Amino acid sequence: MTVRLQTLGLLLILPFALGADRPKGLGDVREVRHWSYPDYTRVVVELTRPVDPREHRLVADRKGGKPERLFLDFDGIWVGREFAKPIGVHDGLLHQVRLGQNTLTTTRLVIDLARYERHRVMRLASPDRVVVDVYGRRTQAEPSEAPLFHDGRPIRTVVLDPGHGGRDPGAIGKGGLREKDVTLRLAHELEARLKSRGFRVVLTRKQDRTVGLEERTAIAEAARGDVFVSLHANASRRRDLRGIEVYHLDKSYERHTVTVASRENHVPRGQVNPLQRAVASLRVSEASVRSAKLAHAVHGQLMDVLRARYDEVADLGVKKGPFYVLYLSSMPSILVETGFLTHRDEVRRLKSSVYIDHLAEAISRGVSDYRASALQVAANHKP
């Protein structure tokens, strides 16, 4: 394998040097995107078909002047000359990203590294894409500060994620009320209440614009968020279905979760099970415990606040589920479904600014309760 990797330059151009034509039945590379943030860099390769990338890593060749590199091979993908020029990053962590035809039926992604601590690779669907996160210190003088990984660290920054937006309206309810509008209104109200409680707040979108799922969590990680709250409104073919539910990431899930996960992940129901396998393969147990605590704290306040003001507030409980926007984040994360746009009474409430205010107050109290419990844990563990 070492010899094969060291001859990368030849392999990337060999099919063209031989004058080979493109084989039939291959997928394509649509786009390559990257984001640079204080603690890591994210590279996203969008494809026209799903792939199961094969990973390699080659350490730096000091004598030969070659940098440390990551390689990902995408079988069944054709890139041709579309991305012939390297994509410069030069952010202190990545030098550049290169794509080339490694064999007639395999595209190779090469990431030239300036620094490296660890990386992770994830597959997303609808559209199909491969996400590579590379973590490391950009300078020796400024060590990276990881997101919250223990209960003892103060919880200061809350990342709010108003679901959908731009080209993606989300669920559309009675009277044309759009989920993307409800979530944005709620996010702005919730931001004000969290700030009044001493939190720093970051929004993944502040207006009606399209934001990809990988970009949402990239924003959260870049902000060094301590908790992540994704806001949504539900929908169902059953017009009598109503209620509030809060989700946290877990490798198991309830049957009802499949429908919600399918809609929020923008994937067909049949692709939820493969996502479960991906979630199960990740080290999510540590974050899952804290996410569950956050979910229960927010859910409890939602029930207390809303039931004190409204009749017939249906409680659908705290659930476990496979959501892209949760498992792409390394911090405690929850997804809040604030009601059903397809239910006559709940859509009326979700149109109301008073109801939005009550939702914001309840969620802010829940996040505050979670912060207080974390501080108590830290105090109990002091020597």
Position 272 scores a pLDDT of: 45
Position 321 scores a pLDDT of: 74
Query: Per-domain residue ranges for the chain?
Result: 2-135, 157-380
Q: What is the pLDDT of residues 253-307, one digit of tens each?
A: 554 454 555 555 555 555 545 544 454 444 455 567 889 999 999 999 999 999 9
Q: What is the mean pLDDT of the chain?
A: 83
> Where are the alpha helices (H) located in the chain, listed in sequence order?
2-6, 8-17, 179-196, 213-222, 255-265, 272-281, 285-307, 324-327, 344-351, 353-380
The band of 9, judged by pLDDT with boundaries at 50, 70 and 90, is: very low
- DSSP string covering 203-271, please? ES-SSS----HHHHHHHHHHTT-SEEEEEEEE--SSTT---EEEEEE-S---HHHHHHHHHHHTS-GGG
Q: Give the span between the Cα atoms of 366 and 199, in whole angstroms.
A: 13
CATH of 2-135, one of 2.60.40.3500, 2.10.60.10, 1.10.287.3510, 1.25.40.80: 2.60.40.3500
CATH 3.40.50.1000 fits domain 157-380: no
The band of 36, judged by pLDDT with boundaries at 50, 70 and 90, is: confident
Query: Is it the case that residue 338 has pLDDT exceeding 80?
Result: yes
Token pair, residue 61, equals 């060749």
Position 141 scores a pLDDT of: 37
Mean pLDDT throughout 307-321? 93
